[in-house]
């Protein structure tokens, strides 16, 4: 019966198992280790001959419930809860790349993902090529004999480019590559990359999945075969696993994901349309606008356009910073998906690891701003933007 549930129902019910106490809310298992009935049982569990918990770094009832729920929502066979979104990115890449391998990734990604690819992977002899994923020919031309993984975010952080998942999956299968997509901006309620043929989906669960700004966490969704390496080799040995308390908080947050996204998307659409007609705004990047290249994928790939907007001011670097500093209502913060509306300046914040030339190639200008539209009254959000824009020269 569960497989017939709509996503709005699954965020509440998927993955739950009856607990001994009969509690409506699943109890949090805040335990580091688990007691065996005998040494023989402990040996059997370590040998994989008996199912059961051993040590929370290897598995925990609370994190296991979250993993079952996220796998159900993404349509994957399994999932792994990680200590952060970057732990999820790292685990997916380290599970599939070795010395001498090559990675093809989109030329605009989250700043720390960019730093991981360009500063850390190179230490282990892994080559990285960054290309425009809107250009199918560019992706194909970047693939080499030693290419093993293809990676992108869509929509892209921070300028909201949208990439065709069917095209990316097709290229990956043609060249026997593992495809990895960061689905943080959309969540599985708005986009399910695995249904388009993508192999691995990752999330910063810090964002919309939790939705309350009080957790740092990540999730990897993939096949059972992938999860054997991701979870029981990479995460086990690196140790970047989620705590039971954080898993419990995300399970709580997920119950309202559907209704929160409805408000986020409604508010963001209205803000994008307002900004698109303002004389002091040079350009708005939001897939919900017909002028955006990603608009063609609404309905086919994305159910809604999400709650994040990027826009360029008719302003200098210094003027853009001043706008951020003086903007009422919005909190200056680099996350997204919280109840509060947030604003950040990518060039000086999330994408500061990029050089000026790299930022230019990625389309991140000095006046580009990113806002995560919150759950406040849309009238108050637009009034705050009007006040801030009116102070620009």
pLDDT at 362 over 80: no
Q: Do residue 351 and residue 279 come from a single domain?
A: yes
Of the listed 53, 55, 57, 283, which one is catalytic?
Answer: 57
Residues 188 and 201 in one domain: yes
Is there a catalytic annotation at residue 110?
A: yes
pLDDT at 1: 41
Per the DSSP assignment, residues forming a β-bridge with 180 are 151, 200
- Within this chain, do residues 169 and 242 fall inside the same structural domain, yes or no? yes
Q: Are residues 314 and 233 in the same domain?
A: no
Residue 135 annotated in active site = no
Catalytic annotation, pick one of 207, 231, 260, 359: 207
344 shares its domain with 288 = yes
Looking at residue 349, what is its pLDDT?
Answer: 87
CA within 13 Å, CB half, 323: 31
Residues 77 and 114 in one domain: yes
* Domain hosting residue 171, numbered range: 2-254
Can you give the pLDDT at residue 90? 97
Same domain, 153 and 297: no
Query: What total number of domains does the chain contain?
Result: 2
CA distance 165 to 80: 22
Across the strands, what pairs with 103? 128, 149
Answer for the pair 182, 198: CB distance below 8 angstroms, yes or no.
no
Mean pLDDT of the chain: 95
Report angle CA 198, 60, 149 to the nearest 5 degrees.
20
CATH, residue 346: 3.90.1150.10
Q: Assess whether 222 and 92 both reside in one domain.
A: yes
User: Annotated catalytic residue: which of 182, 199, 246, 366?
Assistant: 182
* 27-61 pLDDT tens trace: 999 999 999 999 999 999 999 999 999 999 999 99
Task: State whether 224 and 352 are in the same domain.
Answer: no
CA distance 13 to 243: 21
207 is an active site residue: yes
Residues facing residue 203 across a β-bridge:
219
pLDDT(324) > 80: yes
Q: How much is the pLDDT for 175? A: 98
pLDDT beyond 60 at 2: no
Summarised one tens digit per residue, pLDDT across range 173-220 is 999 999 999 999 999 999 999 999 999 999 999 999 999 999 999 999
Q: What mean pLDDT is predicted for residues 112-129?
A: 94
**Residue 249 shares a structural domain with residue 263:** no
Task: Assign residue 43 the CATH number of its domain.
Answer: 3.40.640.10
Which position has the higher pLDDT, 359 or 114?
Answer: 114
Q: What's this model's pTM, rounded to 2 decimal places?
A: 0.94
Choice between 238 and 356, residue whose per-residue pLDDT is larger: 238
Are 101 and 249 members of one domain?
yes
Q: What percent of the chain has pLDDT over 90?
A: 89
């Amino acid at each position: 019966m569960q497989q017939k549930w709509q996503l709005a129902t699954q965020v509440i019910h998927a993955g739950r198992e009856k607990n001994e106490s009969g509690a409506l809310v699943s109890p949090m298992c805040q335990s580091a280790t688990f007691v065996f009935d005998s040494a023989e049982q402990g040996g059997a569990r370590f040998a994989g001959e008996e199912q059961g918990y051993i040590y929370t770094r290897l598995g925990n009832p609370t994190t296991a419930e979250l993993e079952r729920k996220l796998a159900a929502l993404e349509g994957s066979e399994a999932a792994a809860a990680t200590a952060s979104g970057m732990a999820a990115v790292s685990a997916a890449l380290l599970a599939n790349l070795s010395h001498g391998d090559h990675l093809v990734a989109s030329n605009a990604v989250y700043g720390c993902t960019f730093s991981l690819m360009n500063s850390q992977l190179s230490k282990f002899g892994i080559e990285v090529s960054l290309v425009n994923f809107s250009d199918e020919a560019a992706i194909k031309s970047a693939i080499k004999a030693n290419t093993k993984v293809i990676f992108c975010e869509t929509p892209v952080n921070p300028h909201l480019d949208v990439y065709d998942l069917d095209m990316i999956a097709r290229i990956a299968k043609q060249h026997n590559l593992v495809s990895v997509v960061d689905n943080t901006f959309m969540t599985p309620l708005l986009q399910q990359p695995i249904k388009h043929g993508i192999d691995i989906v990752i999330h910063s669960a810090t964002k919309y999945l939790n939705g309350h700004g009080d957790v740092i966490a990540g999730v990897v969704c993939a096949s059972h075969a992938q999860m054997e390496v991701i979870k029981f080799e990479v995460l086990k040995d690196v140790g970047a696993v989620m705590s039971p308390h954080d898993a419990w908080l995300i399970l709580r947050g997920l119950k309202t994901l559907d209704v929160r996204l409805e408000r986020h998307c409604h508010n963001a659409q209205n803000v994008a349309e307002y900004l698109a007609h303002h004389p002091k705004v040079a350009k708005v990047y939001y897939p919900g606008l017909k002028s955006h290249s990603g608009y063609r994928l609404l309905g086919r790939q994305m159910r809604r356009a999400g709650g994040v907007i990027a826009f360029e001011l008719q302003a200098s670097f210094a003027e853009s910073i001043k706008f951020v500093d003086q903007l009422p209502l919005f909190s200056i913060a680099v996350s997204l998906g919280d109840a509060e509306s947030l604003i950040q300046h990518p060039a000086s914040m999330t994408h500061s690891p990029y050089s000026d030339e790299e930022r230019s190639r990625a389309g991140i200008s000095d006046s580009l701003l990113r806002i995560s539209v919150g759950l406040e009254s849309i009238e108050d959000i637009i009034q705050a933007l009007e006040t801030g824009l009116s102070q620009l020269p």
